[in-house]
Every structure is written in structure tokens, then in C-alpha cells.
Structure 1
Amino acid sequence: DATIMFGNHRDMTLLLQKPFSGDGAERRREAVEAAFATFPNLQVMASTARHPITQTHHRLSARVDLREDRHQTPEIEITDIIDRVGSGDAFAAGVLTGWLEGGDARKMAQLGLAMNALKHSLHGDWLRLPRAEVDSFTGNSGDVRR
């Protein structure tokens, strides 16, 4: 069994062949609870929610659920998008960095969102920024500036 899953309630619906009721955060948490019940080694479930406004303007938020903790970031605006390719990988790298640094759900979600958002400003399929720039984006507190 996996320890970390990058997916959301739609993925769990397909995986468990079970629909989840409710709306928004309640439906996502219900799916996470089902995942934790089904997969005993699963410790982290992480996902993003993207709302495209135009091709170069999106709203983005991140969510990380642990067995005993969870955090949903506020939605941020991403404008003047240069390249979306690799933004999901950047999100995963941020979540994994937060996890390896012993962070809680909030830190993992904030780092994932920051790295995802920053990737949109670069050409190519991977994020090539030093950690100091990521920390600067988050205000070095884990809070993504809005």
C-alpha cells in the first residue's frame, strides 16, 4: 500500500467504485476517510482545485489530509501564466518536501501550492527555483501571499 496519494474525491470514487455525498470540503473529507479506512498504510492524501478564468488566468487552491490533521488553502489568483506543464509535479514536490521536513498538513499544502503557482511563471516542465525564492513567495512562514 502507498503512504502518500495525490488524488481527490473523484479518484477515490473511481478507485473504490463508490460515490461520495455532500458538497465541497465535506465530500472531499468523506472520500479521504474512505481511503484511510481502505488503505491502512495511507498517511497523506493531497490534491489541488483549479478554476480557469481564461487560458492565462486561473484560481488555485491546495488541500492536504492526514489521518489526524487537514488543511485547505485559500484560493489564490495566478495570472500571466506562461506554462502549466509540470505544475502538478511541482505541487507534488512541495507536498513531499513539507512531509520530509516533518511538516503538518498546513505546511505541506502551502509548500505544494507555492511551488505549483511559481511553476506557472516558467517555461519547461520542471520548477528551477532555489528554495529561498519559494520561501519568499510564502513569506517564509508557509503562508502563500494572496
Structure 2
Amino acid sequence: MGTIVTFGEIMLRLAPEGYYRFVQADSFGASYGGGEANVAVSLANFGLDAAFVTKLPKHEIGQAAVNSLRQFGVDTSKIARGGNRVGIYFLEKGASQRPSKVIYDRAGSAIATAEPGDFDWKTIFAGVSWFHFTGITPALGDAAAAITLEACRIAKAGGITVSCDLNYRKNLWPRDKASEVMGRLMPFVDVCIANEEDASDVFGIHAKNSDINSGKINREGYQEVAKVLTDRFGFKKVAITLRESISANDNNWAAMLYTDDTAYFSKKYPVHIVDRVGGGDSFGAGLIYGTLQGYSPQETVEFAVAASCLKHAIEGDFNQVSVEEVEKLAGGDASGRVQR
């Protein structure tokens, strides 16, 4: 089994304590995170060789971001150094009927201003079996999109499995631009990961009889979404997370994995949320892990959903759980009883 490489932006996360609003806060807790970095950390915690690729400034804040990954055993040797700033995002945690809020301050970050020459993908992909990125990375700008496309082409030519989490962010780019750019990337992708909204926002593919705002999820509708995506782009697998939002604190969490014209649905978990940021990334990491371990499709989606369920109970972007903890939950022990 080769190394898994993920590519994207790691940001400084600034958040008020507990459930304070931005306007109430007189201090902000600092940590690091970002879609593809979160996946790399999860995979490293699962015992796999994971490397994260990005560009970060040479100054101390850039080094702090690198160190946040190294402490979990993520290979940071492929990170390009340069540029002037680390991207920032501010997080205000929601509660009850008040939603969480994210404000980005990432314009001009090192990865957003990177150029194709910053990354030697043929060297980076030596000994690599899997490449993962999300729709957030090409949304950072035309150069970032071009770098992502080059990486996908070289990965595909080298027989490397490519996965993508669509991860549409309306604050980064409009739907028509996302559809155009992501449409060029999808032919190189083997495994597509999405949530209830992504397929609709990026490609205009809607699940029938579903309403994410009311929490109404139609399983058959998402099976059809996966089939349309597979027929259009030739994916080997499509995974869709199914979140029923009861409130900012309480969700029902499940997923579907579609492969070989068959849909596999996980069990549903009622989740009381501590921190939902990174929940989709932990699902993606679980999906990659299960696939690489040779799990059956049902076992894979159960592992991925259980991993993500646990992430919702952990502060910060990173999912700091072990394979054993995930397997225990996936196996049916959801009691949350004290372990002695």
C-alpha cells in the first residue's frame, strides 16, 4: 500500500470560546485545519502513510501550520515554502436554532498565489497509491485550479486512484464557475464524495423529494443522483453523506455508497454536536481507509460514517480517533459509556 497524498490549503482557525458570538468575543482560540489537511491527519491516525501538499510561508506562522500536521505523523516534506500569509478562517459555533457561521480571510494566501512550478508532481507522486483533493482548492483561483488539474492528469497517468470531495463553497466562487472548473476535473476522478447539496450546487443534479432545510431525506433520490454522476463522469464510486439537521446542536447522520450499480446505506446516528467542522473530511478519510483495506462496500460506508460520527464530538478540525474506536462504534457500541 502506497502513500496517500492530499492537496489543498491549511488555515489558521480562530474561534471564540464556547458558544460566544463574534461580537461578544474578546479573545479567540487558535488552531489549524482545512479540508485536505483534515483527511491527511485522519489517515495518519489510522496508521496509514499520509502526506499533505500545499504552499506555506517560511515565517513562524507557516511553520506552526506545518507543526500542527507533523505532530500526527503526516509527511510534510512535500510542502512548498514561500508566499506571504497563511489563510485564516473565523468560526462562530451555532447552538439550537442559531446556525454556525464561518468568515474567511484567505485572499492572497500562499497557496492561493502558488504557481504550477511550485510543485513537481512526478516527484511528489513517487510511491503514491491515492491522491485526494476537494472542490475548495480549485476555488482559490485560476492558478490553483490549473495546479489541481495538472496533479490530476499526472496522477491518472501514473495509475493512482483519485478522489474528490466536491465541497462547494458559495463564499469562494459562483455555481457556474464551479460547474465549469469541476467539470474539467471530474474525468480524472475515480471516487466522488459529496453531501446533499453539492451535486445540486455544482452540477445541477437534484435529489427528488428531499429538503435539506426541513431534514427530509429521500434515499432513492440520492441513489439516482449517484447514478447520474456515475453515468456522466465514469466514477467507480460515489459517496453521499446524508445529514438531517434538527438544530445546530443535533443532527441525524448517515451516508450512501454507490458502486457497481448498487447503493449501500449506512445506519443512521443521532449526533449531539460538539464541533461539526471537518465532519465531511473525516467521512472521506474513512472511505479511503476502508477502500484501501479491502472492506466490502457496506463495511466501508459503515466505517466512514462511524468515523465521521465520532468527529462531531471532537473539538477542532482534526479527527483524533483510532481505527479501534471507529470499529467499535461501527460494530454497534454507541452507548457512550465510560471506558474503564
Name the TM-score class by shorter chain: 0.7 to 0.9
Q: Distance in 1 between matches of 2:291 and 2:225?
A: 21
Q: Distance in 2 between matches of 1:88 and 1:126?
A: 11
Contact 2:196–2:243 at 8 Å: present in 1 too? no
1:35 pairs with 2:229: yes
Unaligned runs of 5+ in 1: none
Q: Distance in 2 between matches of 1:68 and 1:97?
A: 22
Counterpart among 258, 267, 275 of residue 74 in structure 1? 267
**What's the secondary structure of 1:54's corresponding residue?**
coil
Q: Tell me by how many angstroms 1:15 deviates.
A: 4.5
Q: Counterpart in 1 of 2:282?
A: 90
Deviates more, 1:16-25 or 1:124-133: 16-25
Contact 2:255–2:301 at 8 Å: present in 1 too? yes
Unaligned runs of 5+ in 2: 1-187, 211-217, 336-340
Higher relative contact order (CA 8 A, sep 6+): 1
**What's the secondary structure of 2:281's corresponding residue?**
helix
Aligned letter for 2:290?
G
Q: Tell me by how many angstroms 1:55 deviates.
A: 2.3
Q: Counterpart in 1 of 2:293?
A: 101
Q: Distance in 2 between matches of 1:39 and 1:78?
A: 33
Q: Distance in 1 between matches of 2:296 and 2:236?
A: 12
TM-score (structure 1 length as normaliser): 0.82
1:11 pairs with 2:11: no
Aligned letter for 1:110?
E
Q: Counterpart in 1 of 2:189?
A: 2
Give CA deviations for 1:60-91 in whole Å, capped at 9, x if unaligned.
11111112432112321112x21111111101
Larger radius of gyration: 2
Aligned letter for 1:78?
V
**What's the secondary structure of 1:26's corresponding residue?**
helix
> RMSD of aligned C-alpha atoms?
2.3
Q: Tell me by how many angstroms 1:105 deviates.
A: 2.1
TM-score (structure 2 length as normaliser): 0.38
Calculate percent identity across the aligned residue pairs.
23
Contact 2:196–2:241 at 8 Å: present in 1 too? no
Distance 1:55 1:16, change over 3 A: closer
Q: Distance in 1 between matches of 2:252 and 2:297?
A: 21
**What's the secondary structure of 2:246's corresponding residue?**
strand
Distance 1:15 1:53, change over 3 A: closer
Tell me the matched-pair count: 141
